Structure 1
Amino acid sequence: MARDKTSLKLPKENTEAADFLPLLGTDYVELYVGNAKQAAHYYMSAWGFQPLAYAGLETGLKDKVSYVVQQDKIRLVLTSPLKSGGDINKHIDAHGDGVKVIALWVDDARDSYVETMKRGAESYMEPRALKDDNGEVVLSGIHTYGETVHVFVERKKYSGVFMPGFKEWNPFYKPSDVGLKYIDHMVGNVGWNEMDKWCQFYAKVMGFAQLVSFDDKDISTEYTALMSKVMSNGNGRIKFPINEPADGRKKSQIEEYIEFYNGAGVQHMALATDNIIETVTALKNRGVEFLSVPASYYENVLDRVGSIDEDLLPLSDLGILIDRDDEGYLLQIFTKPILDRPTMFIEIIQRKGAKSFGKGNFKALFEAIEREQASRGTL
């Protein structure tokens, strides 16, 4: 599916970024899942994604099947194995359902590969051109933390539904969307003392720069703590916070994730909306479960964040958190884990000028996560 024609001379938000790798946005996120057909139904029914494309036995694949769903600029590829014993099976066995590919939309996938490889990247996929009657898509890829990979996608010469090898998927069942717009950021959890290593990877190999950092004084409760740094490319379209555990009295959410995921991986996707009240209301009505915060959070929140456009009552009823920085405020809420393993979850975020990540909400959020951990017996 051809994207809008975007100039490589996008405004530079992160002036510290070397930005030798022009990234135009997130092209898609591919999850390896145990049952792609049912996963696609879940993301359509619960999350409002629309059917887009399909590849499987009917398109000539013998070993795997993929369903592609889309909502505005967000594309998910849900892939399952069709036979036992392959790499996808091993990934699911080790990690459960989880993100395998964070695909990045680029103008030149060959050049992206060359530039990252010469700076120390580990190759995942040498450049290859996929062609059909609608043109060609060029792909290449490198490894990042854990078994996660980045695939560079060049689609300027393609006009098809998704990419060669896929056909249009047009079922009768098409639930309405819920107002999700784009991926705001994606968070990676890494092991003890690995945060700086992977931040340096994004700086050296991909030309990112650090936007902000949080230490265990910023992100801690009575029981648990973690540290985080946010890496961003120059135009700010790609933001990757990287988390690692910090010493605490009990097992942190990062340690719980790494234990059940069996290593580093994507902890959550933050999906943006222009109306978080409408979006979260629709999601709750479709069965999505969110973390809850005590009613006391709202007693003095406006003293901390100042005046906001929204009425406080619906935000309180839904459990939406509020924070402010020098450029505005943001509204955010986090789901409970959306998988059986307590690994991946999803954040819904609405930015009203703010460029930050909700530092003022960390304590309330992490106490809510700890209550869930205690219920699972993993705190």
Structure 2
Amino acid sequence: MATENVTYSGEKIFKDAQDFLPINGTDYVELYVGNAKQSAHFYKTAFGFQSVAYAGLETGVKDRVSYVLQQDKIRLVLTSPLKQDGDINAHINKHGDGVKVVALWVEDATKAWEETTSRGAKSYFEPTVEEDEYGKVVRSGIHTYGETVHVFVERKEYKGAFLPGFKEWKSDYNPSEVGLRYIDHMVGNVGWGEMNKWCEFYAKVMGFTQLVSFDDKDISTEYTALMSKVMSNGSGRIKFPINEPAEGRKKSQIEEYIDFYNGAGVQHIAVATNNILETVAQLRERGVEFLRVPEVYYDDVLDRVGEIDEDLEPLKELNILIDRDDEGYLLQIFTKPVLDRPTMFFEIIQRKGAQSFGKGNFKALFEAIEREQEARQTL
């Protein structure tokens, strides 16, 4: 079932998923940010994203500006308000910069909306046809945890740069890509006792299945704990782990996130690479900061995970974590928060067959997060 540098076809590999809502992949992730122009510069410079499209005053949009960036199959939209008040300002004031839209690429956005709302999803907006000289796009949307929304995007009749209303964005400043390929999974943090509610939402409303469950015995340290379940569509292209806090001696990272985000939201975006050593080395050179685990992590890691293709020393030098499951192994590393509030961060992951999420690394990882919390005086 798994292959080296695993990617997921449209074939159904998780048989328990009902899959009444076929999803081709992640279409885009839209962040509401305080300054989209400067955020775009950061994601280009630090992460190697490329200029794609733009909407704003020059394209007839009066209330907001949006920059679209892309690297391989990963598309980010960075949106800022142009006027006071309004929903975007309220979102930024409450949450800081953060993910508003997780857009899913579907064959039929009308059917996707009908299927999900008929099963209890709250509508964000009804199916809407958007057209320009490059064709038409149909979009619809539903609410999920917190103020996050899913937008269904049907673009089989569209040839433009991104969406109607956007123009191609050409820039003289184009730093090279760093080898990021696609979104592997996106993690949501929810409040006390809400994990099962939202897992049931993805099962009932979107036809997902539960891949794995972690309780506070799996994800705990001396001080803090959390619980997590992973929901996936049948093809495995869309995977949403959902975290909630668990009782511990001190404040967990999930509680810290919810305190500063003021509610549930997207905690991190995991992006895949085919060569994590090259990707992470480039990201470090560009100023991206990563969590660090103690050197002793590497003393017995190969006893735990067995033989791997890579030399251990370069992985140790870059602080890349290793874990194995029945299908193979994976390499992963986590950035520090990329925002001023200790909320959203990125995971860089390379799968060498493994379809799991690094359970063997949880303790070392969360202790590293706790050291950061201690420095922030939020532990």
Letter in 1 for 2:26: T
Q: How do 1:217-366 and structure 2 match up within 5 A?
A: 217-366=217-366
Q: Aligned residue for 1:67? A: 67
Deviations 1:166-204 (A, max 9, x none): 000001000000000000000000000000000000000
CA distance in 2, matches of 1:166, 1:319: 40
CA shift at 1:10, angstroms? 2.4
Q: Aligned residue for 1:56? A: 56
Deviations 1:287-325 (A, max 9, x none): 000000000000000000000000100100000000000
CA distance in 1, matches of 2:222, 2:256: 17
Give the secondary-structure state (helix, strand or coil) at the position aligned to 2:361: helix
CA distance in 2, matches of 1:309, 1:56: 48
Letter in 2 for 1:138: V
Letter in 1 for 2:59: T
Q: Aligned residue for 1:373? A: 373
CA shift at 1:14, angstroms? 1.1
Letter in 1 for 2:201: F
Q: Aligned residue for 2:76? A: 76
Give the secondary-structure state (helix, strand or coil) at the position aligned to 1:258: helix
Deviations 1:190-242 (A, max 9, x none): 00000000000000000001000000000000000000000000111000000
CA distance in 1, matches of 2:13, 2:149: 25
CA distance in 1, matches of 2:115, 2:255: 34
Q: Aligned residue for 1:3? A: none
Letter in 2 for 1:327: E
Give the secondary-structure state (helix, strand or coil) at the position aligned to 1:141: strand
CA distance in 2, matches of 1:113, 1:73: 24
Q: Aligned residue for 1:32? A: 32
CA shift at 1:65, angstroms? 0.2
CA distance in 2, matches of 1:192, 1:14: 29
Deviations 1:303-351 (A, max 9, x none): 0000000010010000000000000000000000100000000000000
CA shift at 1:23, angstroms? 0.3
CA distance in 2, matches of 1:241, 1:261: 18
CA distance in 2, matches of 1:286, 1:38: 16
Q: Aligned residue for 1:136? A: 136
CA shift at 1:11, angstroms? 1.1
- In percent, how many aligned pairs have the same letter? 77
Q: How do 1:106-125 and structure 2 match up within 5 A?
A: 106-125=106-125
In the TM superposition, structure 1's runs of 4+ consecutive aligned residues that sit over 2 Å from their partners are none
Q: Aligned residue for 1:93? A: 93
Length-normalised TM-score, structure 2: 0.98
Give the secondary-structure state (helix, strand or coil) at the position aligned to 1:62: coil
Deviations 1:42-101 (A, max 9, x none): 000000000000000000000000000000000000000000001000000000000000
Give the secondary-structure state (helix, strand or coil) at the position aligned to 2:234: coil
CA distance in 2, matches of 1:12, 1:355: 15
Q: Aligned residue for 2:5? A: none
CA shift at 1:13, angstroms? 1.4
Letter in 2 for 1:268: H
1:207 aligns with 2:207: yes
Give the secondary-structure state (helix, strand or coil) at the position aligned to 1:236: coil
Q: Aligned residue for 1:5? A: none
Q: How do 1:174-185 and structure 2 match up within 5 A?
A: 174-185=174-185
Letter in 2 for 1:262: N
CA distance in 1, matches of 2:236, 2:292: 30
CA distance in 1, matches of 2:320, 2:67: 31
CA distance in 2, matches of 1:242, 1:13: 21
Letter in 1 for 2:286: R
CA distance in 2, matches of 1:285, 1:205: 43
Letter in 2 for 1:295: E
CA distance in 2, matches of 1:262, 1:324: 35
Compute the RMSD of aligned alpha carbons: 0.6
CA distance in 2, matches of 1:119, 1:131: 29
Q: Aligned residue for 1:6? A: none
CA distance in 2, matches of 1:14, 1:39: 37
Letter in 1 for 2:153: V
Give the secondary-structure state (helix, strand or coil) at the position aligned to 1:151: strand
Indicate the larger mover: 152-161 or 10-19: 10-19
Give the secondary-structure state (helix, strand or coil) at the position aligned to 1:58: helix
CA distance in 2, matches of 1:372, 1:362: 15
CA distance in 2, matches of 1:316, 1:43: 26
Give the secondary-structure state (helix, strand or coil) at the position aligned to 1:79: strand
Deviations 1:113-169 (A, max 9, x none): 000010000000100000001100100000000000000000000001101000000
CA distance in 2, matches of 1:197, 1:60: 41
CA distance in 1, matches of 2:219, 2:50: 36
Give the secondary-structure state (helix, strand or coil) at the position aligned to 2:156: coil
Give the secondary-structure state (helix, strand or coil) at the position aligned to 1:23: coil
| Number of residues of Structure 1 aligned to a counterpart in Structure 2 | 371
Letter in 2 for 1:94: K
Letter in 2 for 1:121: A
In structure 2, the gaps of 5 or more residues are: 1-8
CA distance in 2, matches of 1:11, 1:141: 25
Q: Aligned residue for 1:187? A: 187
CA distance in 2, matches of 1:47, 1:179: 9
Give the secondary-structure state (helix, strand or coil) at the position aligned to 1:278: helix
